[in-house]
Structure 1
Amino acid sequence: MKAMLIKNYGENAPFEASEVDQPEVKPGHVLVKIAASSVNTVDTMIRKMGKDLPLSPDAPALLGMDFAGTVEAVGEGVQNYSVGDEVYGCAGGLADLPGTLAEYIVADADLIAHKAKNLSMKEAAALPLVAITAYEGLVRAGIQAGQKVLVHGGSGGVGHVALQLAKHFGADVYSTGGGDKQLALIEKLGATGINYKTESVEQYVAKHTGGAGFDVVFDSVGGANLTNSFEAAALNGQVATTVSMCELDLTPAHFKGLSLHVVFMLIPMLHNHKRSEHGDILRKLTEIAESGALTPILDETNFSLEEAGEAYARLESGKAMGKVVIEN
């Protein structure tokens, strides 16, 4: 089969079109013909950092985690899938799991679900990593109807899904963005937009919560921005983040009695730990999407499998709005 391989890691490491053996289905897995795959920040980090990241596969590497496609063969012991089923998931591209920048993938049946009937293959491929991340963070933060929820980075990959899910759960949702296009998308998706460049945390907390703070803060920016999340959170509030590889003074969190939830959704893939929970979440996401409450936003660009390098560059440019997707 055709695959795009990285022979050597590094800044702008080239993807090389290669012919590799088509993988064979094995027990507990399904063989999927991939229709589309999406690019995530972690994919670009692996390409750039290689073995400096403990989750990177050995080179030559077949990257890509998210996919949507059609089942072509079903392994022994797999109950819920048949040949011809349209599925989606996040199931490769790290450690010893071959990725999605290819024509086929053999995916653990626990890491996939049937795709939503009202989503295209490209839309379905945009969801798994970011939507599982958003869902896990909000659920671990104990989101409830009627709460005030702040999403940092609501026009980004994880953020634009988190604010839709928070709305689905019945919350009153607010979200930060840094420009007119970002804020327009946030408002279109049903949240109240906050321009973090023109409003201080103190100002928007006063404006939207009467100074009490937000019950849940979902921080898809993380790092140094976590201090803003602590400032924005209510007393005994909940903060979920996807980026916490940093040194930080937790004193503000202490004096407000905050709970911090770190979401690292790659753990089931990396450690073969509770993988079926990802399948369960994906099935719930399919229901939410089919109810009309979750629509992934796709960047305006189009890329073929051979243009994987350009797709990665598009995400890294910071100019993408929504998810960058490759048509396999």
Structure 2
Amino acid sequence: MKAMVLNQYGEEAAFTLTEVVKPQVTAGHVLVQVAASSVNTVDTMIRTMGDALPLSPALPAVLGMDFAGTVVEVGEGVTDFAVGDEVYGCAGGLADLPGALAEFMLADARLIARKPSNLSMREAAALPLVGITAYEGLQRAGIGAGQQVLVHGGSGGVGHVAVQLAKHFGARVYSTGGGDAQLELISRLGAVPINYKTEQVADYVTTHTEGRGFDVVFDSVGGANMANSFEAAALNGHVASTVAMVDLDLSVAHFKGLSLHVVFMLIPMLHNHKREDHQQILNALTTIVEAGALVPVLDELGFELSQAGLAHARLQSGQAMGKVVIDV
């Protein structure tokens, strides 16, 4: 089969279109003919950082975590899927798990689910990693009807899903963005847009919550922005963060009695820990999508398998609006 293979890591690392051995199906797994794969920030981090990340696969490597495609073979013990099923998931491209930038992919059946019937393969491939991350973070933060929820970075990959899910769960949703296009997308998704470049945290907390703060803050920006999340949260509020690698004074969190939920959705893949949880979340996302409450936003530019490097560059440029998708 054809695959985009990475033979070295680094800033200048390039993918090479290569003929590789087609995987053989194994117990507990299915073989999927890949139709599309989306690019996530962690994919670009693996390509450029390599061994500096403990989750990078050994070279030569086939990257690509997210995918949508069709089951072509079913391994022993798999009862939930049959040949011909259209599925999606986040199931490879790190550690010892082969990735989706190939014509076929071996996937653990616990990490995949039935594709939403009202999404194209391209749209479905855009959803797994960001969808699981947003869903897990909101659930752990105790999302509920009537709450006021702030999503930092609501036009981004994880953020635009978190906005829609929070609205689906009955919350009043607000979201930060930094430009007209971002703010317009946030508004279109059903949230009140906040321009973080022109509005201070204290100002929008006063404007939208009368100074009380937000019940849940979903921070898809992370890093130093977590201090803004603590400031924006209500007393005894919840902060969910997808990027918690930061040195930070927790005094504000202490005096507000905040709960911090760090979401690292790769744990089931890396440690073979509760992988069935991801299937359950994907099944829930399928139901929500088919009900019309969640639509993945795709970048205007599309890429073919041989253009994987260009797709990575597009995401890294910061100019993409929505998920970058590769047609396989």
TM-score where L is the length of structure 1 = 1.00
Q: Distance in 2 between matches of 1:178 and 1:220?
A: 14
- 1:150-198 alpha-carbon deviations (Å, 9 max, x no partner): 0000000000000000000000000000000000000000000000001
4+ residue runs over 2 A deviation? none
Tell me what 2:115 maps to: 115
- 1:23-80 alpha-carbon deviations (Å, 9 max, x no partner): 0111100000000000000000000100000000011111010000000001010001
| Secondary structure at the counterpart of residue 301 of structure 2 | coil
Q: Distance in 2 between matches of 1:33 and 1:230?
A: 44
Q: Which amino acid aligns with 1:275?
A: R
Q: Distance in 2 between matches of 1:103 and 1:249?
A: 47
Tell me what 1:163 maps to: 163
Q: Distance in 2 between matches of 1:29 and 1:174?
A: 40
Matches within 5 A, 1:236-315: 236-315=236-315
Q: Distance in 1 between matches of 2:250 and 2:138?
A: 21
Q: Distance in 2 between matches of 1:246 and 1:199?
A: 23
TM-score where L is the length of structure 2 = 1.00
Q: Distance in 1 between matches of 2:97 and 2:248?
A: 33
Q: Is 1:94 matched with 2:72?
A: no
Deviation for aligned residue 1:17: 0.7
Deviation for aligned residue 1:12: 3.0
Tell me what 2:317 maps to: 317
Q: Which amino acid aligns with 1:77?
A: G
Matches within 5 A, 1:194-213: 194-213=194-213
Q: Percent identity?
A: 73
5+ residue gaps, structure 1: none
CA RMSD, 1 decimal: 0.4
- 1:213-256 alpha-carbon deviations (Å, 9 max, x no partner): 00000000000000000000000000000001111111111110
Q: Distance in 2 between matches of 1:251 and 1:104?
A: 50
Q: Is 1:66 matched with 2:69?
A: no
Tell me what 1:191 maps to: 191
Tell me what 1:132 maps to: 132
Q: Distance in 2 between matches of 1:198 and 1:321?
A: 21
Q: Distance in 2 between matches of 1:159 and 1:12?
A: 29
Q: Distance in 1 between matches of 2:14 and 2:237?
A: 45
Q: Which amino acid aligns with 1:200?
A: Q
Q: Distance in 2 between matches of 1:186 and 1:13?
A: 34
Tell me what 1:42 maps to: 42
Q: Distance in 1 between matches of 2:139 and 2:11?
A: 36
Q: Number of matched residues?
A: 328
| Secondary structure at the counterpart of residue 301 of structure 1 | strand
Q: Distance in 1 between matches of 2:30 and 2:167?
A: 34
Q: Distance in 2 between matches of 1:10 and 1:87?
A: 32
Tell me what 2:176 maps to: 176
Deviation for aligned residue 1:147: 0.1
Q: Which amino acid aligns with 1:312?
A: H
Q: Distance in 2 between matches of 1:197 and 1:246?
A: 21
Q: Distance in 2 between matches of 1:246 and 1:4?
A: 33
Q: Which amino acid aligns with 1:226?
A: M
Tell me what 1:56 maps to: 56
Q: Distance in 2 between matches of 1:199 and 1:44?
A: 31
